[in-house]
Structure 1
Amino acid sequence: MTLKYNEQAPPVPGGSAGITTREESHRTASTATSDSGKQSLPALEVQDVHASFRERRNKLSVLNGLSLTVEQGEFVAIVGPSGCGKSTLFHIIGGLLKPQTGLVLMNGQNVTGQRGKISYMPQQPALFPWRTIEDNVLLAGEVSAHTPPKAEALAEARKWLSSVGLGGFEQAYPHMLSGGMQQRVAFLRALLSPQELMLLDEPFSALDALTRSDMQRWLLDIWEQNRRSVLFITHNIEEALLLADRIYVLSNRPATVLHEVRVPFDRPRREEITEEKAFLERKRQISEWMKEEQKKARLTP
Structure 2
Amino acid sequence: MVRQADRNGGGAVSTIDIRNLEVGFGDEVIIDGVDLGIRDGELVTLLGPSGCGKSTMLRIIGGLSGYRGGSVTVNGRPAAQSWESLAYVFQAARLAPWRTALDNVVLGMKLRGVAGSRREIRERARGFLETVGIGALADRPAHALSGGEQQRVSIARALSVEPSVLMMDEPFSALDVQTRRRLRQEIVSLWERTALTIVLVTHDIEEALVVGSRVVVCSPKPTGILADIDVDMPYPRDPTTAEFGEHRKRIVELFGSEEADDGRTGANVR
Q: State if a TM-score over 0.5 links the two structures.
A: yes
CA-based RMSD of the aligned residues comes to 2.1
| Pairing 1:1-301 to 2, within 5 Å after superposition | 18-22=1-5, 24-28=6-10, 31=12, 41-54=13-26, 59-112=27-80, 115-266=83-234, 269-272=235-238, 274-294=239-259, 299=264
- Which 4+ stretches in 1 moved above 6 angstroms? none
Pairwise CA distance, 1:158: 1.2
Between the aligned partners of 2:55 and 2:79, the Cα distance in structure 1 is: 18
SS in structure 1 of the partner of residue 112 of structure 2: coil
Q: What letter is aligned with 1:27?
A: G
Aligned 8 A contact 1:96 1:113 in 2: no
Query: 2:147 & 2:261 partners in 1: Cα distance?
Result: 36
Is 2:18–2:34's contact at 8 Å kept on the other side of the alignment? yes
Gaps of 5+ in 1: 1-17, 32-40
Kept after mapping to 2: 8 A contact 1:252/1:297:
no
The answer to whether the 8 A contact 1:98-1:113 is kept is: no
Give the SS at the match of 2:36: strand
Once the two structures are TM-superposed, the CA of residue 146 in structure 1 deviates from its matched residue by 4.5
Contact 2:102/2:139, CA 8 A, preserved across alignment: yes
Output one character per residue of 1:250-269: Cα deviation in whole Å (capped at 9) or x when no partner. Answer: 11111011110011123xx1
Which amino acid in structure 2 is aligned with residue 278 of structure 1?
E
- Number of residue-to-residue matches in the alignment: 265
Gaps of 5+ in 2: 266-270
- CA deviations over 1:73-119 (Å, ceiling 9, x no partner): 11000111121111211221121222111111112223347644420
Task: Give the 3-state SS of the residue equivalent to 2:109 in structure 1.
Answer: helix
1:171 and 1:277, CA in 2 relative to 1: closer, same or farther beyond 3 A? same
Q: Is the CA contact 2:19–2:71 (under 8 Å) kept in the aligned structure 1?
A: yes
Q: Is the 8 A contact 1:53 1:61 kept in 2?
A: yes
Identity across matched positions, percent = 32
**C-alpha deviations, 1:215-273, integer Å up to 9, x for none?**
1122222222223101110111111111111111111111011110011123xx1243x
In 2: Cα distance, 1:219 partner to 1:144 partner: 23
